Amino acid sequence: MNTIAERRSALHDRFSTWVPRTLDAWLDACADQFPERDLVVTDERVLSYAEVAEESRRLADGLAALGVRRGDRVGLLMANHAEFVTLKFAIARAGAVAIPFNFLYRTDELRYVLAQSDCKVLITNAGFQALDHAGMLDEIVPGWDAPGFADRPASGNGAPDGLRHVVLVERDGDTPRPGAFTGRALAELGAAHEGAAAGAGHTPDDVSDLLYTSGSTGSPKGVQVTHDAVLRTAYASALTRAYEDGRRILFSLPCYHMFGYVEGLLSATYVGGAVIMLPAFSAEAYLTAIEKHRATDMLCVPTMAVALVESPLRHETDLSSLTAILCGSAPAPVWLWEQVERDFGVSEIVTGYGMTECGGAMTLTLPEDELVLTSTTVGRPKLAGSAGVPGTEHEGLAALCVYRTVDPVSGEVLPDGANGELTSSGPTTMLGYFAKPEETAAALHPDADGTVWLHSGDLGTVREDGYLVLTGRSKEVYKSGGELVMPKEVEEVLGAHPGISQVYAVGVVDDRWGEIGCAVVVRAPGPEGDGLTAEDVIAHAKEHLARFKVPKRVEFLEPDQLPTTATGKVQKFRLVELVAQSSQSSQPSQQGETS
**Digit-coded pLDDT (tens) for 386-400:** 999 999 998 899 999
Res 589: pLDDT = 39
* Cβ atoms 454, 443 nearer than 8 A: yes
Its domain, for residue 234, covers 222-472
- Which residues touch 504 (CB under 8 Å, ≥6 apart)? 487, 491, 519, 520, 562, 570, 572, 575
Closest CA to 82 of 54, 109, 115, 42: 42
Cα gap 490→118, rounded to integer Å: 43
* Statement: residue 475 has pLDDT above 80: no
Please report which residue ranges of 449-533 form alpha helices under DSSP H.
Answer: 487-495, 527-530
What is the DSSP-derived secondary structure letter of residue 189?
A: H
Band of residue 513 on the pLDDT scale cut at 50, 70, 90: low
Report yes or no on 592 lying in a domain. no
Where do the DSSP E strands lie in 113-247?
121-124, 127-128, 131-132, 165-168, 181-182, 207-212, 222-226
Residue 388 lies in a domain: yes
- Rounded to whole angstroms, the Cα distance separating 390 from 300 reads 32
**Lowest-confidence range among 18-27, 213-222, 228-237?**
213-222
374 against 409, higher pLDDT: 374
pTM given for the model: 0.85
Residue 349 has pLDDT above 60, yes or no: yes
First CA to last CA distance, the chain = 59
The Cα 233–Cα 384 span in angstroms is 8
12 assigned to some structural domain: no
Residue 407's alpha-carbon distances to 1, 413, 454, 541, 557, in angstroms, are 46, 6, 14, 29, 35
Percent of the chain at pLDDT > 70 equals: 95
pLDDT tens track for 266-288: 999 999 999 999 999 999 999 99
- When mean pLDDT is compared across 131-135, 328-332, 347-351, 492-496, the lowest value belongs to 328-332
pLDDT digits (tens, 9 = 90+) for 75-107: 999 999 999 999 999 999 999 999 999 898 889
Q: What are phi and psi of 233, to 5 degrees?
A: -60, -40
Model confidence at 231: pLDDT above 90: yes
d(CA 76, CA 263): 19
CA distances from 406 to 115, 129, 131, 469, 474 (A): 35, 44, 43, 14, 12
**Residue 429 Ramachandran class (φ > 0 left, ψ -120 to 50 alpha, else beta):** beta
Q: 197-218, pLDDT tens digit by residue?
A: 999 999 999 999 999 985 444 4
Q: What is the mean pLDDT of residues 364-392?
A: 96
Give the chain's mean pLDDT. Answer: 92
What CATH number is attached to the domain comprising 565?
A: 3.30.300.30
Q: Across-strand partners of 473? A: 458
User: Do 362 and 401 meet the contact criterion of CB atoms below 8 Å apart?
Assistant: yes
If one counts the domains in the chain, the total is 3
- Please report which confidence band the pLDDT of residue 587 belongs to, taking 50, 70 and 90 as the band edges: very low
Domain-located, residue 2 = no
CATH code of the domain containing 356 = 3.40.50.12780
In this predicted structure, the answer to whether residue 566 has a pLDDT above a threshold of 90 is no
Angle between helices 183-192 and 49-66 (to 10 degrees): 80
Co-location of 64 and 171 in the same domain: yes
Statement to judge: residues 339 and 285 lie in one domain: yes
440 plus 484 within the same structural domain: no
Predicted confidence (pLDDT) per residue in 417-464, tens digit: 999 999 999 999 999 999 999 999 999 999 999 999 999 988 899 999
Average pLDDT over residues 525-530: 92
Q: What is the pLDDT of residues 63-75, one digit of tens each?
A: 999 999 999 999 9
Please tell me whether residues 241 and 187 are part of one structural domain. no
| Whether residue 258 has pLDDT greater than 70 | yes
Q: Is the domain of 539 the same as that of 452?
A: no
Closest CA to 112 of 98, 99, 126: 99
Determine the residue type at 541.
A
Q: Is 365 exposed, middle or buried (0-12, 13-18, 19+ CB in 10 A)?
A: buried
Q: Which of 472, 505, 534 is the last residue of a domain?
A: 472
Domain boundary among 419, 453, 472: 472
- Is residue 499 a part of any domain in this protein? yes
Given 203, 231, 251, the domain boundary residue is: 203
Q: Are residues 132 and 274 in the same domain?
A: no
pLDDT, residue 592, reads 46
Whether residue 407 sits in one domain with residue 271: yes
Q: Judge whether 403 lies within some domain.
A: yes
Q: What gap in Å lies between CA 514 and CA 509, rounded to an integer?
A: 6
Task: Say which CATH number the domain at 169 has.
Answer: 3.40.50.980
Residue 165 lies in a domain: yes
In percent, the amount of the chain with pLDDT more than 90 equals: 78
Q: What is the pLDDT of residue 1?
A: 63
Domain annotation covers residue 410: yes
Q: ∠ CA 105-108-110 to the nearest 5 degrees?
A: 45
